[in-house]
């Protein structure tokens, strides 16, 4: 991937709305990785488009999360990820194309 990983708090958006966070990710050409399922509604219902990886891994260890993310990153191109909502669960994932 072409970008470093940044956290919402490190860029001053820790109190921002989900819509503002998604807009920032889109404007900065980033893929959003989150545990917040509300982003699915923003993408598919409200029509805000950006690549999102929704981590549905609880309880989780950092190693388990990294393992699942590496699997997804190895399976799809960066361009594919920018146009998708991916639900990541232990041992599996679901890929859904975002219509723009």
Averages of pLDDT over runs of 10 residues in the chain (100 residues) are 78 92 86 88 73 83 87 91 90 84
- Tokens 């708090």 belong to which residue? 9
DSSP class of residue 71 equals: H
- Tokens 């909502």 belong to which residue? 85
The CA distance from 97 to 69, in Å, is 18
The CA distance from 54 to 81, in Å, is 12
- Tokens 């990153």 belong to which residue? 73
The CA distance from 88 to 31, in Å, is 14
């Amino acid at each position: 991937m072409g970008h470093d990983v940044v956290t919402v708090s490190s860029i001053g958006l820790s109190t921002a709305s989900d819509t503002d966070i998604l807009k920032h990710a889109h404007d900065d050409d980033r893929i959003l990785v989150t545990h917040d399922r509300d982003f699915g509604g923003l993408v598919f219902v409200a029509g805000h488009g950006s690549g999102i990886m929704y981590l549905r891994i609880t309880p989780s260890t950092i190693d388990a999360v990294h393992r699942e993310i590496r699997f997804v990153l190895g399976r799809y191109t960066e361009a594919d990820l920018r146009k998708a909502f991916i639900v990541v669960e232990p041992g599996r994932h679901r890929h859904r194309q975002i219509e723009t």
